[in-house]
Amino acid sequence: MGAPKIIWTIAGFDPSNGAGVTADLRTISALGCHGVACITALTIQNTMGVRGVEPVQAGIVAETLQTLLEDLPPAAIKIGMLATAENATTVASFLQALPQPCPIVLDPILLASSGAEMLTLEGLTILRERLLPLATIVTPNRAEAAALTGLPATDAEALALALRQLGCRAAVVTGGDPVADDTNPSGAATDVLAYQLVSMESVEELSAPRITTRATHGTGCAFSTALACELAMDASIPQAVTRAKSYVRRAMQNAPGLGQGKGPLGLEAAARG
Going across the sheet that includes 104-106, the strands are 49-55, 34-46, 6-13, 76-79, 104-106, 137-138, 170-173, 189-197, 200-208
Q: In this structure, are residues 224 and 107 in contact, taking their beta carbons and an 8 Å threshold?
A: yes
> pLDDT tens digit string along 10-29?
999 999 999 999 999 999 99
Q: In this structure, are residues 12 and 81 in contact, taking their beta carbons and an 8 Å threshold?
A: yes
Q: Does residue 263 surpass a pLDDT of 50?
A: yes
Q: How many CB atoms lie within 10 A of CB 83?
A: 25
Reported as a pLDDT band with limits 50, 70 and 90, residue 217 is: very high
- Using CA atoms, how far apart are residues 226 and 37, in angstroms rounded to an integer? 15
Reported as a pLDDT band with limits 50, 70 and 90, residue 176 is: low
- Using CA atoms, how far apart are residues 206 and 197, in angstroms rounded to an integer? 17
Q: In this structure, are residues 68 and 60 in contact, taking their beta carbons and an 8 Å threshold?
A: no
Q: Does residue 3 surpass a pLDDT of 80?
A: yes
> pLDDT tens digit string along 112-159?
766 678 888 899 999 999 999 999 999 999 999 999 999 999 999 999
The CATH number of 6-140+216-267, from 3.40.1190.20, 2.40.40.20, 3.50.50.60, 3.30.2270.10, is: 3.40.1190.20
